[in-house]
Amino acid sequence: MKIRLKKQYAAALVAYTLALVAVLGGFVYKNHQAAVFYKRQTENCYRRAFNGLATGIGELDSALQKCVFSGGGGMEGETLTRVFGAAETAKQALGELPRGDVGLLQTSGFITRTGDYAFALTKKLARGEALSGDEKRNLKKLSETASMLSGNFTELLGEVNDGGFTLGELADVERRAENAGNAAENEIGAASGPFSERVKATEDEFPEMPSLIYDGPFSSHIGGMQPRFLENKPEVSRDEAQKIAEEFIVAGAARGAAVGGQFISAGGALRFDGERVGSLPVYRFSREDSNGGLNIEISKAGGAVVNMYSPRVPGQASVSVGDAVKTAEKFLSDRGFAAMRESYHMTQDGSVTVNFAYTQDDVICYTDLIKVTTDLDTGEVSGFEAQGYIMHHHERELPEPEISADAARAKVSKELNILSQALSVIPTDGKNEAFCYEFKCEAPDGRHYIVYINAETGAEERILILLEDENGTLAL
Protein backbone atom coordinates (compact mmCIF):
# COMPACT_ATOMS: atom_id res chain seq x y z
CA MET A 1 0.00 0.00 0.00
CA LYS A 2 2.75 2.39 0.99
CA ILE A 3 4.72 1.49 -2.13
CA ARG A 4 1.64 2.21 -4.32
CA LEU A 5 1.16 5.63 -2.63
CA LYS A 6 4.79 6.52 -3.13
CA LYS A 7 4.54 5.62 -6.82
CA GLN A 8 1.35 7.67 -7.17
CA TYR A 9 3.01 10.64 -5.39
CA ALA A 10 6.07 10.39 -7.61
CA ALA A 11 3.92 10.21 -10.74
CA ALA A 12 1.91 13.23 -9.61
CA LEU A 13 5.12 15.14 -8.84
CA VAL A 14 6.47 14.35 -12.29
CA ALA A 15 3.19 15.44 -13.88
CA TYR A 16 3.14 18.72 -11.93
CA THR A 17 6.79 19.32 -12.79
CA LEU A 18 6.17 18.74 -16.48
CA ALA A 19 3.13 21.03 -16.33
CA LEU A 20 5.18 23.72 -14.59
CA VAL A 21 7.95 23.38 -17.18
CA ALA A 22 5.35 23.68 -19.94
CA VAL A 23 3.84 26.79 -18.34
CA LEU A 24 7.26 28.36 -17.79
CA GLY A 25 8.22 27.44 -21.32
CA GLY A 26 5.06 29.13 -22.54
CA PHE A 27 5.94 32.28 -20.58
CA VAL A 28 9.48 32.24 -21.93
CA TYR A 29 8.22 31.73 -25.48
CA LYS A 30 5.62 34.46 -25.06
CA ASN A 31 8.20 36.87 -23.64
CA HIS A 32 10.58 35.97 -26.43
CA GLN A 33 7.89 36.64 -29.01
CA ALA A 34 7.06 39.96 -27.32
CA ALA A 35 10.74 40.94 -27.33
CA VAL A 36 11.03 40.02 -31.01
CA PHE A 37 7.88 42.01 -31.79
CA TYR A 38 9.14 45.03 -29.81
CA LYS A 39 12.54 44.86 -31.50
CA ARG A 40 10.88 44.66 -34.91
CA GLN A 41 8.61 47.61 -34.12
CA THR A 42 11.55 49.67 -32.87
CA GLU A 43 13.56 48.85 -35.96
CA ASN A 44 10.63 49.87 -38.17
CA CYS A 45 10.30 53.20 -36.32
CA TYR A 46 14.01 53.87 -36.80
CA ARG A 47 13.75 52.95 -40.48
CA ARG A 48 10.87 55.39 -40.98
CA ALA A 49 12.85 58.12 -39.18
CA PHE A 50 15.96 57.44 -41.25
CA ASN A 51 13.89 57.44 -44.43
CA GLY A 52 12.44 60.82 -43.35
CA LEU A 53 15.95 62.13 -42.70
CA ALA A 54 17.21 61.03 -46.12
CA THR A 55 14.09 62.46 -47.79
CA GLY A 56 14.44 65.76 -45.92
CA ILE A 57 18.09 66.09 -46.92
CA GLY A 58 17.16 65.35 -50.53
CA GLU A 59 14.49 68.07 -50.46
CA LEU A 60 17.00 70.42 -48.84
CA ASP A 61 19.42 69.71 -51.70
CA SER A 62 16.74 70.44 -54.34
CA ALA A 63 15.56 73.65 -52.69
CA LEU A 64 19.11 74.98 -52.30
CA GLN A 65 19.91 74.26 -55.95
CA LYS A 66 16.82 76.25 -56.96
CA CYS A 67 17.92 79.08 -54.64
CA VAL A 68 21.29 79.28 -56.36
CA PHE A 69 19.75 79.64 -59.82
CA SER A 70 16.72 81.72 -58.90
CA GLY A 71 16.60 85.04 -60.76
CA GLY A 72 15.15 86.88 -57.75
CA GLY A 73 11.70 88.26 -57.10
CA GLY A 74 9.02 86.09 -55.56
CA MET A 75 10.69 82.82 -56.59
CA GLU A 76 13.75 83.59 -54.47
CA GLY A 77 11.61 83.94 -51.35
CA GLU A 78 9.62 80.82 -52.21
CA THR A 79 12.71 78.64 -52.62
CA LEU A 80 14.20 79.91 -49.35
CA THR A 81 10.94 79.02 -47.62
CA ARG A 82 11.26 75.52 -49.07
CA VAL A 83 14.83 75.29 -47.72
CA PHE A 84 13.58 76.14 -44.24
CA GLY A 85 10.73 73.62 -44.49
CA ALA A 86 13.03 70.82 -45.70
CA ALA A 87 15.46 71.55 -42.86
CA GLU A 88 12.62 71.32 -40.31
CA THR A 89 11.52 67.97 -41.79
CA ALA A 90 15.06 66.61 -41.58
CA LYS A 91 15.49 67.91 -38.00
CA GLN A 92 12.30 66.21 -36.87
CA ALA A 93 13.38 62.89 -38.38
CA LEU A 94 16.85 63.21 -36.87
CA GLY A 95 15.31 63.76 -33.44
CA GLU A 96 13.49 60.41 -33.70
CA LEU A 97 16.73 58.48 -34.13
CA PRO A 98 18.45 57.32 -30.93
CA ARG A 99 21.29 59.61 -29.91
CA GLY A 100 21.19 61.30 -33.32
CA ASP A 101 22.93 64.35 -31.88
CA VAL A 102 26.01 62.22 -31.13
CA GLY A 103 26.18 59.91 -34.14
CA LEU A 104 25.28 62.63 -36.66
CA LEU A 105 26.69 65.73 -35.01
CA GLN A 106 27.94 67.50 -38.15
CA THR A 107 24.85 66.56 -40.13
CA SER A 108 22.62 67.94 -37.38
CA GLY A 109 24.63 71.17 -37.21
CA PHE A 110 24.48 71.62 -40.98
CA ILE A 111 20.71 71.10 -41.14
CA THR A 112 20.03 73.47 -38.23
CA ARG A 113 22.26 76.28 -39.46
CA THR A 114 21.10 75.99 -43.08
CA GLY A 115 17.43 76.19 -42.09
CA ASP A 116 18.05 79.12 -39.77
CA TYR A 117 20.10 80.95 -42.41
CA ALA A 118 17.31 80.48 -44.97
CA PHE A 119 14.76 81.80 -42.48
CA ALA A 120 16.88 84.91 -41.83
CA LEU A 121 17.25 85.56 -45.58
CA THR A 122 13.49 85.14 -46.03
CA LYS A 123 12.89 87.88 -43.47
CA LYS A 124 15.39 90.10 -45.30
CA LEU A 125 13.54 89.64 -48.59
CA ALA A 126 10.23 90.37 -46.83
CA ARG A 127 11.66 93.75 -45.80
CA GLY A 128 12.24 94.55 -49.47
CA GLU A 129 16.03 94.07 -49.30
CA ALA A 130 18.01 92.11 -51.89
CA LEU A 131 20.42 89.26 -51.16
CA SER A 132 24.07 90.30 -51.21
CA GLY A 133 26.80 88.66 -53.28
CA ASP A 134 28.22 86.98 -50.16
CA GLU A 135 24.82 85.57 -49.24
CA LYS A 136 24.38 84.08 -52.71
CA ARG A 137 27.86 82.56 -52.55
CA ASN A 138 27.01 81.08 -49.14
CA LEU A 139 23.88 79.49 -50.58
CA LYS A 140 25.99 77.95 -53.37
CA LYS A 141 28.41 76.42 -50.82
CA LEU A 142 25.51 75.13 -48.74
CA SER A 143 23.99 73.64 -51.90
CA GLU A 144 27.22 71.80 -52.70
CA THR A 145 27.35 70.36 -49.18
CA ALA A 146 23.66 69.35 -49.33
CA SER A 147 24.23 67.56 -52.64
CA MET A 148 27.13 65.57 -51.20
CA LEU A 149 25.13 64.77 -48.08
CA SER A 150 22.05 63.76 -50.08
CA GLY A 151 24.13 61.34 -52.16
CA ASN A 152 25.62 59.73 -49.06
CA PHE A 153 22.29 59.34 -47.31
CA THR A 154 20.54 58.02 -50.40
CA GLU A 155 23.23 55.33 -50.61
CA LEU A 156 22.91 54.57 -46.88
CA LEU A 157 19.13 54.38 -47.13
CA GLY A 158 19.41 51.88 -50.00
CA GLU A 159 21.66 49.63 -47.93
CA VAL A 160 19.34 49.90 -44.91
CA ASN A 161 16.30 48.97 -47.02
CA ASP A 162 18.22 46.05 -48.56
CA GLY A 163 18.82 44.70 -45.04
CA GLY A 164 22.51 45.45 -45.02
CA PHE A 165 22.35 47.40 -41.76
CA THR A 166 20.26 47.33 -38.62
CA LEU A 167 19.36 50.73 -37.20
CA GLY A 168 18.81 49.15 -33.79
CA GLU A 169 22.59 49.41 -33.52
CA LEU A 170 22.12 53.06 -32.63
CA ALA A 171 19.93 52.14 -29.66
CA ASP A 172 22.64 49.71 -28.51
CA VAL A 173 25.16 52.56 -28.75
CA GLU A 174 22.89 54.73 -26.61
CA ARG A 175 22.44 52.06 -23.92
CA ARG A 176 26.14 51.27 -23.77
CA ALA A 177 26.99 54.96 -23.56
CA GLU A 178 24.61 55.38 -20.61
CA ASN A 179 26.14 52.38 -18.84
CA ALA A 180 29.73 53.41 -19.47
CA GLY A 181 29.28 57.15 -18.86
CA ASN A 182 29.38 60.13 -21.17
CA ALA A 183 33.17 60.30 -21.14
CA ALA A 184 33.38 57.08 -23.15
CA GLU A 185 30.47 57.89 -25.44
CA ASN A 186 32.49 58.80 -28.52
CA GLU A 187 34.73 55.76 -28.22
CA ILE A 188 31.70 53.48 -27.89
CA GLY A 189 30.03 55.03 -30.92
CA ALA A 190 33.20 54.63 -32.99
CA ALA A 191 33.25 50.85 -32.63
CA SER A 192 29.58 49.98 -32.46
CA GLY A 193 28.99 48.20 -35.74
CA PRO A 194 28.97 48.50 -39.53
CA PHE A 195 26.15 51.06 -39.74
CA SER A 196 27.79 53.35 -37.19
CA GLU A 197 31.06 53.01 -39.04
CA ARG A 198 29.38 54.16 -42.27
CA VAL A 199 27.77 57.11 -40.47
CA LYS A 200 31.15 58.03 -39.00
CA ALA A 201 32.72 57.91 -42.46
CA THR A 202 30.01 60.24 -43.76
CA GLU A 203 30.68 62.66 -40.91
CA ASP A 204 34.45 62.50 -41.37
CA GLU A 205 34.26 63.63 -45.02
CA PHE A 206 32.02 66.57 -44.17
CA PRO A 207 33.31 69.71 -45.94
CA GLU A 208 34.08 72.88 -44.04
CA MET A 209 30.98 74.98 -43.48
CA PRO A 210 31.03 78.53 -44.86
CA SER A 211 31.19 81.30 -42.28
CA LEU A 212 27.56 82.43 -42.07
CA ILE A 213 27.31 85.98 -40.71
CA TYR A 214 23.65 86.93 -40.39
CA ASP A 215 21.08 88.05 -37.85
CA GLY A 216 20.29 84.68 -36.32
CA PRO A 217 21.15 82.51 -33.30
CA PHE A 218 23.59 80.27 -35.22
CA SER A 219 25.55 83.05 -36.91
CA SER A 220 29.31 82.53 -36.91
CA HIS A 221 29.92 85.88 -35.22
CA ILE A 222 28.16 84.86 -31.99
CA GLY A 223 30.84 82.43 -30.81
CA GLY A 224 33.46 85.17 -31.03
CA MET A 225 31.49 87.85 -29.19
CA GLN A 226 33.39 89.59 -26.40
CA PRO A 227 31.92 91.48 -23.40
CA ARG A 228 31.44 95.13 -24.46
CA PHE A 229 31.48 96.37 -20.87
CA LEU A 230 34.93 94.88 -20.24
CA GLU A 231 36.67 96.13 -23.40
CA ASN A 232 40.20 97.45 -22.74
CA LYS A 233 39.87 96.85 -19.00
CA PRO A 234 42.91 95.37 -17.21
CA GLU A 235 42.86 91.92 -15.66
CA VAL A 236 42.52 91.75 -11.86
CA SER A 237 44.34 89.30 -9.65
CA ARG A 238 42.62 86.64 -7.60
CA ASP A 239 43.18 88.62 -4.40
CA GLU A 240 41.77 91.76 -6.00
CA ALA A 241 38.75 89.80 -7.21
CA GLN A 242 38.11 88.46 -3.70
CA LYS A 243 38.23 91.98 -2.25
CA ILE A 244 35.76 93.17 -4.92
CA ALA A 245 33.45 90.28 -4.03
CA GLU A 246 33.57 91.06 -0.32
CA GLU A 247 32.85 94.76 -0.87
CA PHE A 248 29.97 93.95 -3.21
CA ILE A 249 28.34 91.67 -0.64
CA VAL A 250 28.42 94.20 2.22
CA ALA A 251 27.79 97.41 0.23
CA GLY A 252 24.85 99.18 1.82
CA ALA A 253 24.52 96.51 4.53
CA ALA A 254 24.70 99.04 7.37
CA ARG A 255 21.88 101.08 5.86
CA GLY A 256 19.93 97.91 5.13
CA ALA A 257 20.16 96.75 8.74
CA ALA A 258 18.49 99.96 9.91
CA VAL A 259 15.33 99.05 7.99
CA GLY A 260 15.16 95.35 8.75
CA GLY A 261 18.24 93.76 7.14
CA GLN A 262 17.33 94.21 3.49
CA PHE A 263 20.58 92.87 2.07
CA ILE A 264 22.50 89.62 2.23
CA SER A 265 24.15 89.62 5.63
CA ALA A 266 27.87 90.01 5.83
CA GLY A 267 29.91 87.40 7.62
CA GLY A 268 31.88 84.26 6.81
CA ALA A 269 35.14 84.29 4.86
CA LEU A 270 35.06 83.73 1.12
CA ARG A 271 36.75 80.62 -0.26
CA PHE A 272 38.35 80.46 -3.72
CA ASP A 273 36.60 77.78 -5.81
CA GLY A 274 38.56 78.00 -9.04
CA GLU A 275 38.15 79.70 -12.41
CA ARG A 276 35.78 79.47 -15.33
CA VAL A 277 37.04 79.93 -18.90
CA GLY A 278 35.20 80.88 -22.08
CA SER A 279 34.12 84.19 -23.57
CA LEU A 280 33.71 85.59 -20.05
CA PRO A 281 36.45 84.16 -17.78
CA VAL A 282 35.76 84.52 -14.05
CA TYR A 283 37.13 83.81 -10.58
CA ARG A 284 34.69 81.81 -8.45
CA PHE A 285 34.26 82.24 -4.68
CA SER A 286 31.88 80.86 -2.08
CA ARG A 287 31.23 80.85 1.63
CA GLU A 288 29.31 78.61 4.02
CA ASP A 289 27.14 79.93 6.83
CA SER A 290 23.95 79.11 8.72
CA ASN A 291 21.89 81.07 6.19
CA GLY A 292 22.54 78.74 3.26
CA GLY A 293 25.88 80.06 2.07
CA LEU A 294 26.75 82.18 -0.94
CA ASN A 295 28.41 81.87 -4.36
CA ILE A 296 29.85 84.76 -6.36
CA GLU A 297 31.75 85.14 -9.66
CA ILE A 298 34.08 88.03 -10.58
CA SER A 299 35.25 88.64 -14.14
CA LYS A 300 39.01 88.46 -14.67
CA ALA A 301 38.91 91.49 -16.96
CA GLY A 302 37.79 94.58 -15.11
CA GLY A 303 36.73 92.78 -11.92
CA ALA A 304 32.98 93.04 -12.58
CA VAL A 305 30.51 90.98 -10.53
CA VAL A 306 28.93 88.55 -12.99
CA ASN A 307 26.75 86.40 -10.73
CA MET A 308 25.93 86.11 -7.04
CA TYR A 309 23.39 83.74 -5.52
CA SER A 310 22.46 81.94 -2.31
CA PRO A 311 21.21 78.32 -2.60
CA ARG A 312 18.96 78.68 0.48
CA VAL A 313 15.28 77.77 0.16
CA PRO A 314 12.97 80.63 1.28
CA GLY A 315 10.39 80.00 4.01
CA GLN A 316 6.96 81.51 4.46
CA ALA A 317 6.62 85.00 2.99
CA SER A 318 6.57 87.93 5.40
CA VAL A 319 7.51 90.72 2.97
CA SER A 320 5.28 92.19 0.26
CA VAL A 321 6.22 91.93 -3.42
CA GLY A 322 6.29 95.74 -3.64
CA ASP A 323 8.82 95.99 -0.81
CA ALA A 324 10.91 93.23 -2.40
CA VAL A 325 11.05 95.20 -5.67
CA LYS A 326 12.14 98.34 -3.76
CA THR A 327 14.85 96.32 -2.02
CA ALA A 328 16.15 95.16 -5.41
CA GLU A 329 16.20 98.76 -6.67
CA LYS A 330 18.14 99.93 -3.61
CA PHE A 331 20.52 97.00 -3.96
CA LEU A 332 21.53 98.17 -7.43
CA SER A 333 21.69 101.83 -6.44
CA ASP A 334 24.01 101.11 -3.49
CA ARG A 335 26.34 99.24 -5.82
CA GLY A 336 26.70 102.03 -8.33
CA PHE A 337 24.29 100.89 -11.04
CA ALA A 338 22.65 104.10 -12.20
CA ALA A 339 19.84 104.63 -14.69
CA MET A 340 18.41 101.13 -14.30
CA ARG A 341 14.66 100.80 -14.84
CA GLU A 342 12.46 97.89 -13.80
CA SER A 343 11.26 96.01 -16.86
CA TYR A 344 9.10 93.35 -15.20
CA HIS A 345 9.20 90.97 -12.24
CA MET A 346 8.17 87.40 -11.47
CA THR A 347 7.33 85.74 -8.13
CA GLN A 348 8.28 82.08 -7.84
CA ASP A 349 9.16 79.65 -5.03
CA GLY A 350 9.10 82.28 -2.29
CA SER A 351 11.23 84.89 -4.03
CA VAL A 352 10.83 87.79 -6.49
CA THR A 353 13.15 88.21 -9.48
CA VAL A 354 13.20 91.73 -10.91
CA ASN A 355 14.55 92.43 -14.40
CA PHE A 356 16.21 95.83 -14.77
CA ALA A 357 17.19 97.42 -18.10
CA TYR A 358 19.63 100.29 -18.59
CA THR A 359 18.26 103.60 -19.86
CA GLN A 360 20.24 106.15 -21.89
CA ASP A 361 18.62 109.49 -22.74
CA ASP A 362 15.22 107.95 -21.88
CA VAL A 363 15.82 105.11 -24.34
CA ILE A 364 15.37 101.68 -22.70
CA CYS A 365 18.23 99.34 -23.60
CA TYR A 366 16.79 95.85 -23.07
CA THR A 367 20.11 94.27 -24.06
CA ASP A 368 21.79 95.68 -20.92
CA LEU A 369 19.88 93.51 -18.47
CA ILE A 370 20.45 92.82 -14.76
CA LYS A 371 18.34 90.44 -12.66
CA VAL A 372 18.03 90.79 -8.87
CA THR A 373 16.25 88.21 -6.69
CA THR A 374 14.83 89.00 -3.23
CA ASP A 375 13.54 86.34 -0.80
CA LEU A 376 10.08 87.08 0.56
CA ASP A 377 10.69 85.51 4.00
CA THR A 378 13.73 87.61 4.99
CA GLY A 379 13.43 90.52 2.58
CA GLU A 380 17.11 90.00 1.69
CA VAL A 381 18.62 89.88 -1.77
CA SER A 382 19.65 86.33 -2.61
CA GLY A 383 20.56 86.59 -6.28
CA PHE A 384 22.25 88.91 -8.78
CA GLU A 385 22.90 88.18 -12.46
CA ALA A 386 24.61 90.71 -14.74
CA GLN A 387 25.90 88.67 -17.70
CA GLY A 388 23.57 90.42 -20.17
CA TYR A 389 24.69 93.82 -18.90
CA ILE A 390 28.37 92.88 -19.07
CA MET A 391 28.13 91.41 -22.57
CA HIS A 392 26.29 94.40 -24.08
CA HIS A 393 26.60 97.55 -21.98
CA HIS A 394 28.30 100.57 -23.56
CA GLU A 395 27.43 104.20 -24.15
CA ARG A 396 25.68 104.20 -27.51
CA GLU A 397 25.50 106.84 -30.19
CA LEU A 398 21.74 106.68 -30.43
CA PRO A 399 20.45 107.90 -33.78
CA GLU A 400 17.53 110.21 -34.36
CA PRO A 401 14.48 108.21 -35.48
CA GLU A 402 14.14 108.12 -39.26
CA ILE A 403 10.37 107.87 -38.99
CA SER A 404 8.08 109.88 -36.73
CA ALA A 405 6.20 108.48 -33.76
CA ASP A 406 2.92 109.05 -35.60
CA ALA A 407 4.18 107.10 -38.62
CA ALA A 408 5.27 104.27 -36.31
CA ARG A 409 1.88 104.26 -34.53
CA ALA A 410 0.21 103.87 -37.90
CA LYS A 411 2.11 100.57 -38.37
CA VAL A 412 0.45 99.03 -35.29
CA SER A 413 -2.59 96.85 -35.96
CA LYS A 414 -5.88 98.74 -35.83
CA GLU A 415 -7.17 95.87 -33.68
CA LEU A 416 -4.95 97.07 -30.81
CA ASN A 417 -5.47 100.09 -28.57
CA ILE A 418 -2.12 101.80 -27.85
CA LEU A 419 -1.70 102.51 -24.11
CA SER A 420 1.83 103.92 -24.03
CA GLN A 421 4.93 104.42 -26.15
CA ALA A 422 8.67 104.74 -25.65
CA LEU A 423 11.94 104.44 -27.55
CA SER A 424 13.99 101.32 -26.93
CA VAL A 425 16.92 99.19 -28.04
CA ILE A 426 16.02 95.50 -28.31
CA PRO A 427 18.17 92.43 -29.06
CA THR A 428 17.72 90.62 -32.36
CA ASP A 429 18.00 86.87 -32.89
CA GLY A 430 21.63 87.32 -33.91
CA LYS A 431 22.48 89.27 -30.73
CA ASN A 432 22.60 92.54 -32.65
CA GLU A 433 20.47 95.55 -31.71
CA ALA A 434 17.43 97.25 -33.22
CA PHE A 435 16.41 100.84 -32.39
CA CYS A 436 12.62 100.80 -32.05
CA TYR A 437 9.45 102.50 -30.97
CA GLU A 438 7.86 100.42 -28.23
CA PHE A 439 4.06 100.44 -28.01
CA LYS A 440 2.26 98.77 -25.13
CA CYS A 441 -1.19 97.83 -26.43
CA GLU A 442 -4.44 96.27 -25.33
CA ALA A 443 -6.56 93.88 -27.41
CA PRO A 444 -10.38 93.90 -27.36
CA ASP A 445 -10.34 90.90 -24.97
CA GLY A 446 -8.19 92.82 -22.45
CA ARG A 447 -4.93 91.02 -23.14
CA HIS A 448 -1.79 93.14 -23.41
CA TYR A 449 0.86 93.12 -26.14
CA ILE A 450 4.05 95.04 -26.89
CA VAL A 451 4.68 95.96 -30.52
CA TYR A 452 8.14 97.10 -31.65
CA ILE A 453 8.40 99.22 -34.81
CA ASN A 454 11.91 99.82 -36.12
CA ALA A 455 12.57 103.55 -35.74
CA GLU A 456 14.99 103.56 -38.69
CA THR A 457 13.18 101.40 -41.27
CA GLY A 458 9.56 101.46 -40.13
CA ALA A 459 9.42 97.64 -40.21
CA GLU A 460 7.46 95.75 -37.56
CA GLU A 461 10.38 94.25 -35.67
CA ARG A 462 8.68 92.12 -32.99
CA ILE A 463 5.43 91.46 -31.12
CA LEU A 464 5.42 90.22 -27.52
CA ILE A 465 2.47 88.76 -25.63
CA LEU A 466 2.31 89.83 -21.96
CA LEU A 467 1.12 87.10 -19.60
CA GLU A 468 0.10 88.91 -16.44
CA ASP A 469 -1.11 87.35 -13.19
CA GLU A 470 -0.62 87.69 -9.43
CA ASN A 471 2.95 86.34 -9.79
CA GLY A 472 4.09 89.06 -12.19
CA THR A 473 4.51 89.51 -15.93
CA LEU A 474 6.02 87.17 -18.49
CA ALA A 475 6.75 88.35 -22.06
CA LEU A 476 6.47 85.75 -24.85
Render pLDDT for 394-442 as a digit per residue (tens, 0 to 9): 999 999 999 999 999 999 999 999 999 999 999 887 778 999 999 999 9
Q: What residue spans define the domains of the chain? A: 2-220, 229-392, 405-475
**pLDDT the model gives residue 67:** 83
Please determine, for residue 101, whether its predicted confidence score (pLDDT) is greater than 80.
no
Buried b (16+ CB within 10 A) or exposed e, 60-70: bbbbbbbbeeb
Tell me what the pLDDT averaged over the chain comes to: 79
User: Which of 93-97, 185-189, 191-195, 452-456 is predicted with the least confidence, judged by mean pLDDT?
Assistant: 185-189
Greater model confidence, 102 or 199: 199
pTM comes to: 0.67
Q: How far apart are CA 26 and CA 395, in angstroms?
A: 78
User: Which of 160-174, 230-244, 366-380 is predicted with the least confidence, judged by mean pLDDT?
Assistant: 160-174
**pLDDT the model gives residue 40:** 59
Provide mean pLDDT across the span 277-294. Answer: 85
Q: Which pLDDT tens digit goes with each residue over 19-60?
A: 565 556 555 545 545 554 455 565 667 778 788 888 888 888
Share of the chain above pLDDT 90, in %: 34
CATH number for the region 405-475 comes to 3.10.450
SS (H, E, C) the chain: CHHHHHHHHHHHHHHHHHHHHHHHHHHHHHHHHHHHHHHHHHHHHHHHHHHHHHHHHHHHHHHHHHHHHCCCCHHHHHHHHHHHHHHHHHHHHHHCCCCHHHHCHHHHHHHHHHHHHHHHHHHHHHCCCCCCHHHHHHHHHHHHHHHHHHHHHHHHHHHHHCCCCCCHHHHHHHHHHHHHCHHHHHHHHHCCCHHHHHHHHHHHCCCCCCCCCCCCCCCCCHHHCCCHHHCCCCECCHHHHHHHHHHHHHCCHHHHHHCCCCCCCCCCCCEEEEEECCCCCEEEEEECCCCCCEEEEEECECCCEEEEECCCCCCCCCCCHHHHHHHHHHHHHHCCCCCEEEEEEEEECCEEEEEEEEEECCEEEEEEEEEEEEECCCCCEEEEECHHHHHHCCCCCCCCCCCCHHHHHCCCCCCCEEEEEEEEEEECCCCCEEEEEEEEEECCCCCEEEEEEECCCCCEEEEEEEEEECCEEEEC
Query: Residue 301 pairs with which residues in a beta bridge?
Result: 235
**pLDDT the model gives residue 93:** 82
Phi, psi dihedrals of residue 252, rounded to the nearest 5°: 80, 0
Can you say whether residue 137 is alpha, beta or left, with left for phi > 0 and alpha for psi between -120 and 50 degrees? alpha
| Residue 242: band (very low, low, confident or very high) from pLDDT cuts 50, 70, 90 | very high
**pLDDT the model gives residue 371:** 93
**pLDDT the model gives residue 51:** 82
